[in-house]
């Protein structure tokens, strides 16, 4: 005979009375675990999607307006190219790639297009100081662009917003431009008085980039006689770092520039995350009140029902601490069972329903087990403390009262 | 062994002062077997609770082996009950979800005896009260007489010097009552001091002396007078 024997025997002998309280805690934990598990993988999926969109932060002149995210660099105002150096030399985490741009209008066969100067990644790597301390030496791995290192496919510009190499006499042609001018790879084009070779015709993106022609930034600066300036810097920022305040950090670094992000996407992600977070908080509050009240009510009834038994134990020589331990151990077992059961049930629900509800694959999260068991045990112990204290203060004379 | 000196117990019930025990003085020597009799509400159970260290008096002193019971802390009183006092109840007070053997093990568990020793002693005590074949039965699977015998085995578990019994035959048929009282006499012959509250004249007569209570006061404690009461 041990304390466990008394507690376990009583639980199994009167399990039907315990069932409601157990179900309350089990279902509460199940729902919390499911929501947390699904929302975690949903957030990861959204983060991956935002990252895969390419550039998600823009550095613009202070006076620029932001009516079209993809055409924000076509407003004429400029910022110094030195800003690129400052960003590359900074210790900001989450900058996966930079793409400075200078756009000028060009006429070709009677039609006006936008000629955009871009800086290929090889330019960054050529600068020893940048290569040593720059952004590309420490990608944090959450951006899609990280995988670009070493890529030689020039068409990656359409999707990744960054290109590996680009020679002075090379141009990349947007899908719409190519269609209008009937241009194909290796064709020759004359722009601003200089002859270029079409290195690649970019695939259609559905954005203003389809009507652009891309050339080396420094070539465009020379041809347009604008000097070392740019219209915008497109930044491929890690989505998680953006949500941690990357935009503010860039703002502090470049106080004379305007830094914006893809507001709608960021807001959508934020809304989903907030909704999920609020939902789990709501269930946590519900479980605390409903589950806690149910357990406290059950425990008070249990103490009342067992007052003769407790009185008998005291008559046989038990002290009040034993009564307290009996009820708290029972609460501990109830909480542990509810936490473990709730974690398992919640994980199964999340894994099965996650792909259907959120459209994302969901895997079990062992860390949630600790949280589930912790919350469950904490709740049952807190709800049972006062009933247990009442048991400890029971008058042992109750043993004789009905005699 | 047991002494009560000028012990009173008063409490308020619906605004009225009730005297449960009034300046009671009782001396019970070691090895005595005392029946406490009297009408309902005369203070019998109050007296028993006070002797067992479960109800503090409003006034007076209760001594067990010359130790003032109510000058002890609650924990010390619990230890005193665990080591020296055995209780027997009218309604047996067995723990319903434990087997007969486990019920007997409770005082041994409280005394921190190890598991196998607990089982061994409980089995031997149940054998003594004739329930060797009912060890694994729960109280609801036993007759009332068997339940009371389990309660007797439980009471004996820690080998108490004092046995306090509150109407031990109150719920039993005459034949079983005689059997239970027979056990009490046996325990008394072993040198244990017994105080037994009872309404049963035949049970009371089996004690060595009778203590009569009336309106919270001790009317007499002379065994020679009980013949008249018993009649």
A186 touches chain B (CB under 8 A): no
Confidence of residue A136 (pLDDT cuts 50, 70, 90): very low
Closest CA to A248 of A106, A57, A83: A57
Q: How far apart are CA B148 and CA B170, in angstroms?
A: 11
Q: In what order do the strands lie in the sheet with B209-214?
A: B85-88, B162-166, B193-197, B33-37, B209-214, B217-220
With cut-offs at 50, 70 and 90, classify the pLDDT of residue A55: low
pLDDT in tens, B12-48: 888 888 888 989 899 999 999 999 999 888 888 889 9
H/E/C letters for each residue in B106-172? Answer: HHHHHCCCCHHHHHHHHHHHHHHCCCHHHCCCCHHHCCHHHHHHHHHHHHHCCCCCEEEEECCCCCC
Contact residues, chain A, for B109 at CB < 8 Å? 1-2
Q: What part of A 89-148 touches B (C-beta under 8 Å)? A: none
DSSP label at residue A291: I
Q: Across the interface, do A13 and B96 touch by the CB < 8 Å criterion? A: yes
Cα separation, A219 vs A196, in Å, equals: 11
Structure tokens at B91: 């309604």
| A314 touches B75 (CB < 8 A) | no
Question: Where is pLDDT greater, at B117 or A46?
Answer: B117
Q: What is the pLDDT of residues A56-83, one digit of tens each?
A: 788 888 887 655 555 667 767 889 999 9
Query: Per residue in B132-183, pLDDT tens?
Result: 999 999 999 999 999 999 999 999 999 999 999 999 998 889 899 999 999 9
**3-class secondary-structure state, position A250:** helix
Q: Which residue of A has its CA nearest to B56?
A: A397
Q: Assess A399–B contact: CB distance below 8 Å, yes or no.
A: yes
Nearest alpha-carbon partner for B151 in B162, B141, B165: B165
Tell which of B93, B158, B197, B199 to mutate to test the A interface (max A CBs under 10 Å): B93
Nearest to B81 by CA among B93, B71, B69, B92: B69
pLDDT computed for residue A40 by the predictor: 87
Strands in A33-154 per DSSP E = 57-61, 79-80, 95-108, 111-118
Q: What is the pLDDT of residue A184?
A: 87
**Per-residue confidence at A277, pLDDT binned at 50, 70, 90?**
confident
Contact pairs from chain A to chain B, CB under 8 Å: 85
Spatial distance between the Cα atoms of A20 and A15, rounded to a whole number of angstroms? 10
Are A169 and A197 contacting, i.e. CB atoms less than 8 angstroms apart?
yes
Question: B101-118 pLDDT, tens per residue?
Answer: 999 999 999 999 999 999
Q: What is the model's pLDDT at position A51?
A: 58
Specify the pLDDT at position B231. 34
Q: Please answer yes or no on whether A1 and B78 come within 8 Å at the CB atom.
A: no
Chain centroid to Cα A4, Å, comes to: 44
B158 touches chain A (CB under 8 A): yes
A111-A113-A114 Cα angle (round to 5): 165
What mean pLDDT is predicted for residues A324-348? 96
Residue B198's closest chain A neighbor by CA? A403
ipTM, interface predicted TM-score of the complex: 0.90
Cβ B55–A322 below 8 Å, yes or no? no
Q: Which residues of chain B lie closer than 8 angstroms to A308, CB-CB? A: 93
Residue A18 Cα, gap to closest chain B Cα (Å): 15
Give the dihedral of Cα atoms A281, A283, A288, A292; nearest 10 deg.
-170
Cα–Cα distance for residue pair A335/A22, rounded to 1 Å: 8
CA–CA gap between residue A391 and residue A305 (Å, rounded): 11
Max CA distance (Å), chain B = 53
DSSP states along A193-214: TEEEEEEEEPPP-SSGGGGEEE
| pLDDT for residue A214 is more than 60 | yes
Are B87 and A317 within 8 A, CB to CB?
Answer: no
More confident: A99 or B123: B123
Q: What helix, strand, coil percent values describe chain A, rounded to 5?
A: 60, 15, 25
Tens of pLDDT, residue by residue over B51-93, are 999 888 999 999 999 899 999 998 899 999 999 999 999 889 9
Higher pLDDT, residue B12 or B50: B50
Q: What is the dihedral of CA B134, B138, B140, B143, to 10 degrees?
A: 20
Check if the beta carbon of residue A216 is closer than 8 Å to that of residue A168: yes
Strands B33-37 and B209-214, by their bridges, are: parallel
Cα angle for residues A215, A221, A225 (degrees, 5° grid): 135
Distance from C-alpha of A344 to C-alpha of A242, rounded to nearest angstrom: 34
CB contact B163 to A (< 8 Å):
no
CA A327, A331, A336, A342 torsion-angle sign: positive
Q: Which residue has the tokens 């980039």?
A: A209
pLDDT at res. B214: 87
More confident residue, A207 or A179: A179
- Strands annotated E in A20-176: 57-61, 79-80, 95-108, 111-118, 170-173
| pLDDT above 80 for A147 | no
Give the chain A residue whose CA is nearest to the CA of B86.
Answer: A316
Q: Does B48 touch chain A (CB under 8 A)?
A: yes
**Chain segment A230-276, per-residue pLDDT in tens:** 998 888 777 667 666 778 888 888 888 888 776 555 565 667 667 77
Average per-residue pLDDT for chain A: 80
- Please give the Cα distance from A192 to A223 (Å, whole number): 6
Is B89 in contact with A317 (Cβ distance < 8 A)? Answer: no
Contact assignment for B81 to A2 by CB distance below 8 Å: no
DSSP helix, strand, coil percent of chain B (3-state; round to 5): 40, 25, 30
B165-203: burial string, b at 16+ Cβ within 10 Å, e else: bbbbbbbbeeebbebbbebbeebbeeebbbbbbbebeeb
Q: Is B91 on the interface with A (CB under 8 A)?
A: yes
CB atoms within 10 A of CB A332: 17
- A394 to chain B: closest CA residue: B54
Q: Cβ of A403 and B90 within 8 Å?
A: yes
Residues 11-40 of A with CB under 8 A from B: 12-14
Nearest chain A residue to B108, by CA: A1
- A337 has pLDDT over 90: yes
Across chain B, what does the average pLDDT equal?
A: 90
- Closest-CA distance of chain B to residue A300, Å: 19
Distance from CA of A332 to the nearest CA of B (A): 20
Q: Give the mutation candidate from B64, B98, B116 for the A interface (greatest A CB count, under 10 A).
A: B98
Contact B89/A at CB under 8 A? yes
Chain B interface includes A316 (CB < 8 A): yes
- Determine contact: B140 vs chain A, CB below 8 A: no
The pTM score is 0.68
Give the gap in angstroms from C-alpha A292 to the nearest C-alpha of chain B: 26
The strand pairing partners of B193, in sequence order, are B162
- Confidence at A128, pLDDT banded by 50, 70, 90: very low
Of B87, B91, B109, Cβ closest to residue A315: B87
For A55, the token pair is 């550039």
Enumerate the β-bridge partners of residue A257: A61
Q: Can you read off the two tokens belonging to residue B134?
A: 């009912």
**Inter-residue contact A352 to A327 (CB < 8 Å):** no
CA angle B230, B23, B68 (to 5 degrees): 105
Selecting from B52, B90, B106 the residue whose C-beta is nearest the C-beta of A1 gives B106
Q: Write down the residue that tokens 């459209």 correspond to.
A: A359
Per-residue confidence (pLDDT) for residue A239, from 0 to 100: 64
* Mean pLDDT confidence for A369-384: 95
Å between A21 CA and nearest CA of chain B? 20
Minimum Cα–Cα distance from B115: chain A residue: A1
Q: Cβ of A402 under 8 Å from any chain B Cβ?
A: yes
Partners of A403 on chain B (C-beta within 8 Å) are: 45, 89-91, 166-167, 170
Confirm or reject contact between A304 and chain B (CB < 8 A): no
pLDDT at A126: 46
Put simply, the answer to whether B97 touches A13 (Cβ < 8 Å) is yes
* Model confidence pLDDT, tens digit, residues B173-197: 989 999 999 999 999 999 999 999 9
């Amino acid at each position: 005979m041990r304390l466990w024997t008394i507690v376990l025997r009583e639980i199994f002998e009167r399990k039907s009375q315990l069932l409601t309280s157990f179900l309350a805690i089990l279902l509460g934990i199940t729902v919390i675990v499911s929501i947390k598990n699904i929302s975690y993988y949903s957030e990861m999926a959204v983060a991956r999607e935002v990252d895969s969109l390419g550039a998600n932060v823009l550095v613009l002149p202070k006076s620029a307006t932001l009516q079209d995210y993809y055409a924000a660099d076509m407003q004429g105002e400029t910022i110094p190219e030195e800003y690129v150096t400052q960003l590359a030399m900074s210790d900001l985490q989450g900058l996966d790639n930079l793409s400075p741009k200078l756009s000028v209008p060009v006429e070709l066969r009677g039609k006006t297009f936008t000629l955009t100067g871009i800086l290929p990644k090889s330019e960054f790597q050529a600068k020893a100081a940048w290569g040593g301390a720059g952004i590309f030496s420490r990608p944090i791995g959450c951006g899609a662009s990280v995988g670009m290192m070493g890529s030689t496919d020039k068409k990656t510009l359409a999707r990744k917003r960054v290109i590996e190499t680009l020679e002075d006499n090379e141009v990349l042609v947007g899908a719409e431009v190519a269609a209008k001018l009937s241009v194909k790879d290796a064709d020759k084009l004359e722009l601003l008085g200089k002859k270029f070779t079409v290195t690649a015709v970019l695939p259609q993106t559905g954005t203003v980039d389809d009507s652009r022609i891309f050339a080396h930034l420094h070539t465009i600066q020379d041809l347009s006689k604008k000097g070392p300036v740019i219209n915008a810097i497109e930044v491929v920022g890690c989505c998680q770092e953006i949500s941690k305040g990357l935009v503010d950090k860039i703002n502090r670094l470049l106080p004379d520039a305007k830094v914006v992000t893809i507001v709608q996407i960021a807001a959508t992600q934020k809304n989903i995350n907030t909704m999920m977070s609020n939902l789990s908080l709501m269930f946590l509050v519900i479980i605390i009140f409903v589950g806690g009240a149910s357990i406290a009510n059950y425990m008070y009834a249990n103490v009342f029902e067992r007052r003769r038994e407790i009185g008998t134990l005291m008559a046989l020589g038990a002290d009040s601490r034993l009564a307290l331990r009996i009820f708290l151990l029972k609460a501990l077992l109830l909480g542990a069972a509810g936490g473990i059961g709730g974690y398992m049930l919640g994980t199964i629900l999340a894994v099965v329903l996650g792909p259907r509800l959120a459209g994302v694959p969901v895997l079990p999260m062992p860390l949630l087990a600790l949280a589930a068991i912790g919350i469950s045990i904490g709740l049952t112990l807190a709800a049972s403390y006062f009933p247990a204290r009442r048991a400890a203060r029971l008058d042992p004379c109750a043993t004789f009262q009905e005699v | 062994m047991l002494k009560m000196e000028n012990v009173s117990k008063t409490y308020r019930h619906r605004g009225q002062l009730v005297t449960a025990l009034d300046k009671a003085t009782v001396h019970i020597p070691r090895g005595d077997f005392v029946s406490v009799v009297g009408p309902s509400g005369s203070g019998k159970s109050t007296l028993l609770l006070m002797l067992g260290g479960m109800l503090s008096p409003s006034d007076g002193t209760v001594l067990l082996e010359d130790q003032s019971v109510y000058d002890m802390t609650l924990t010390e009183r619990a230890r005193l009950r665990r080591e020296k006092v055995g209780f027997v109840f009218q309604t047996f007070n067995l723990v319903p979800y434990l087997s007969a053997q486990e019920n007997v093990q409770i005082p041994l568990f409280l005394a921190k005896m190890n598991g196998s020793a607990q089982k061994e002693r409980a089995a031997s005590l149940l054998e003594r009260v004739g329930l060797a074949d009912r060890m694994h039965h729960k109280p609801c699977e036993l007759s009332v007489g068997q339940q009371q015998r389990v309660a007797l085995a439980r009471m004996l578990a820690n080998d108490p010097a004092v046995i306090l019994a509150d109407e031990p035959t109150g719920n039993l048929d005459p034949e079983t009552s005689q059997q239970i009282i027979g056990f009490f006499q046996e325990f008394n012959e072993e040198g244990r001091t017994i105080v037994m509250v009872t309404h049963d004249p035949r049970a009371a007569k089996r004690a060595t002396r009778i203590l009569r209570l009336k309106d919270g006061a001790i009317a007499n404690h002379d065994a020679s007078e009980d013949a008249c009461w018993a009649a």
